[in-house]
Structure 1
Amino acid sequence: MITRFAPSPTGHLHLGHAYSLARGLKAIAWGGEIRLRIDDLDATRCRPEYVTALHEDMDWLGVSFDGPVMVESERVAAYDEALEGLRRRGLLYPCFCTRKDIEAALAAPHGDPGAYYPGTCRDLPDDPARREAEPHSWRLDHEKALALTGGLPSWQDHEGTMHFAQPADLGDAILARKDAPAAYHLACVLDDAAQGVTLVTRSADLAGSTPIQRLLQQLLGLPEPRYLHHRIVVNGDGKRLAKRDQAPTLRQMRADGVDGPALLDALMDERLPLGYRLADPT
């Protein structure tokens, strides 16, 4: 069994990251490997100093990873190749919409408030000159993709075989952003396959990503891993820990004299420090 820990170096890690790491380590406790991946495709927010701090946190916790560290910014060629293959099959289309454009379309009288994307650019004629001149993302046409794969994907979770409700809930996911060579879904499935991951361990708030990622695995001929979506760590007010909210960091806990290996052992047994608890995402 092979799982992975794939943090983004956009800030210092907090207790929620350590708990996710502990879930992965618990899953392979009876024999397996855990690999490290640095999700650094967001060039505007990722910083080298956070990568350094991440390794310091792992040393403090007493964690050593199996195999070489994968760095996503070094894998652009792999993402480009996959995107080009999907484009050749007619499964991608350029999207010129801004977030404000999408919000306005969904607020229109005939907008679909339940959709991930209203399809504004789906049927635009191909315009290479516009693509050259204007920033754009690349979206997956989920209807065409489902027609090729033969229907909604299923996946194996710790609760059994899971199915997605209906095709429209997939949405036309972004696979390459305007400011990055690949978006989360595409990078995730390609990197999991390249690292030989057989068990994807991540928080339950990312469970909604699984159907589109299973669809991509089918389209790209990638192996299907199993999934373990764990609960999230919240504070005493029931608020999820987040970097943007300046959640207490592992770095600060280390400075306060907390024993790193003892903390990790406690998290593997789902024993959290005073003032924190586990919750399902709302």
Structure 2
Amino acid sequence: MTDNRQYPALRQNRRSCSDGHDNAFPHDAMTVVPTRYPGRWISVVVCALLLIMLLHSMVMNENFAWPTVGHYLFSPTILAGLWVTLWLTLVIMLLAIVLSVAIATLRLSTNPLLSGFSSGYIWFFRGTPVLVQLIFWYNLAALYPEVFIGIPHVFTLYQGSTNDLITPYTAAILGLGLNEAAYMAEIIRAGMASVDHGQQEAARALGMNKGQWLRRIILPQAIPFIIPPTGNQVIGMLKTTSLVSVISLSDLLYSVQSIYSRTFENIPLLIVACIWYLVATTILSWLQARIENYFRKGKNTTA
């Protein structure tokens, strides 16, 4: 039991309540004290000091050779390599997305042969290093000196030397595209599996075949779940294309290497490559955010 003699303010408030006043604690008598976070401000100061120290060391360290970085930043050789990197990223991701939709559909098939084939594809390409696959495709002529596409003694679509067919561009697209399709297939399969199975049954009850309910019902609802990881894969592929430098394809990294192999200015030219990779990934991240917001419109509406 509370002793009112020890709390005169409490007695006064209770009298106010007994007199019929609804507001026992007047608003003007209350003082709102904001919550203080001293640790937050301390961490901000520490991070700011560390950032200033880092920038100061980078600017004052002559070994970074910032004038050399500025000289080569817009070099035609560097820009040509950047274009090759962007072009490869676009073509490889388009190939990977088309293949991954087919592989993911086969993975969800009730046919054990088709499902087993797609599972084996994913198992192989995810289980071997992408650099090994890239070099393998580049040296395919060691296994098959000639390529024949068609039906023997009936018609021929292509017949010729493998070296003529598997150029560095072809090897890069096949090596990176087939590998990326295995990862994208799992992303698309997970997105398709997120759609309620009852909608598939309803589509079949309406007389839709598998292609129709996949195109009209499943994929439109799975896209919002597929886009975020797909955006990450695109950004990752932009950086993974740097591996094509090992097969002498003139991407951004190979262009940088070709310059510093003559000038021996390794660090400044690697900084140039990092700057352009950061610019490209920043733009891709911005595009990913815009696309995600577009497909999230219907979910953000409230009643």
TM-score range, shorter chain: under 0.3
Question: Which protein has the bigger strand share?
Answer: 1
Q: Identify which of structures 1 and 2 has the higher relative contact order when contacts are C-alpha pairs closer than 8 Å and 6+ apart.
A: 1
Rg bigger for which structure? 2
**What TM-score do the two structures reach when normalised by structure 2?**
0.25
**What TM-score do the two structures reach when normalised by structure 1?**
0.26
